Structure 1
Amino acid sequence: MTPAPARIDAIRAGLLCRCPHCTKGPLFEGFLKIVDKCAVCGFDFTRLNTGDGAAIFIMQIAGGIVVFGSLFIQIAYDPPIWAMLLVALPLVLVLSLGLMRPGKGVMVALQMQNKTARHVD
């Protein structure tokens, strides 16, 4: 039986891409590949699976920011469409890639916290 994780802020641990169990070991070994075991505390991450949950949330956040920002700029200043595309497309790419690791880290931390809370008496 795995010991209960320390009481930490799951969102902070996820945003820092650290092990939610000990907050010291790295959570990722590649860009989005989660380590099998924490290098510091040895917590096993193979039983956790976030799937595409983080990607869905990140698409909603990045899309909302860019679409509503572009709509505001289009109505207020009426720039040419090529200028809007020149700004909006790279912005979507930067927001999506920049938010993906912390988003997935938060999903893993919350899943770990909720699964552990259900199994601990």
Structure 2
Amino acid sequence: MTDVAFPRLSTLSTGLRCRCPRCGEGPLLTGYLTIRESCPACGLDYSFADPADGPAFFVMSLVGVIGMVALMAFDFMAHPPIWVHLVVTLPLLTLMCLATLRPFKGWMVSEQYVHKAAPPVWESIGKHGTGTGPRGRRET
């Protein structure tokens, strides 16, 4: 079986379109945020992909800063009652979060693929509790 050489694609382009980071063709997600097991176009196994809470953190931070600036500007210029914020601003912030969460997740998976992310491997460099204690005294 011959291995096909895939060119390195832009992580931003494939991520924001939620496409496979290797071929750029196959869809990355099923449903709203569930990562597929593998790419239907090139067969890339997505088991390396674990963005965890990264997308949610970045979206909260970005939308929070932009949303608060917009909220304060709106509040200082128009002086609306609080119910206007509940009816307009809160749903707008929610929609901004939901609209950007999927592209951010795709981007983070693409970055993990390009940088060959893998789960951490822990190894011991010695036994704890053996050897000398404070000031070189032997522990008994």
TM, length-normalised to structure 2 = 0.77
Return the letter of the residue paired with 1:71: M
Could you say which residue in structure 1 is the equivalent of 2:88?
Answer: 87
Structure 1 CA distance, aligned partners of 2:89 and 2:64?
Answer: 10
Alignment of 1:1-121 (within 5 A): 5-115=6-116
Could you say which residue in structure 2 is the equivalent of 1:119?
Answer: none
Structure 2 CA distance, aligned partners of 1:54 and 1:25?
Answer: 21
Shift of 1:11: 0.6
Contact 2:59 2:101 in 1 (8 A): yes
Q: Which moved more, 1:82-91 or 1:21-30?
A: 82-91
Structure 1, unmatched stretches of 5+, are: 117-121
Aligned residues: 115
Task: State the percentage of identical aligned residues.
Answer: 38
Greater fraction of residues in helix: 1
Moved over 3 A (4+): 2-5
* Structure 1 vs Structure 2 CA RMSD: 1.7
Partner SS state of residue 34, structure 2: coil
Structure 2, unmatched stretches of 5+, are: 118-140
Shift of 1:48: 2.0
Shift of 1:47: 2.1
TM, length-normalised to structure 1 = 0.88
Contact 2:67 2:93 in 1 (8 A): yes
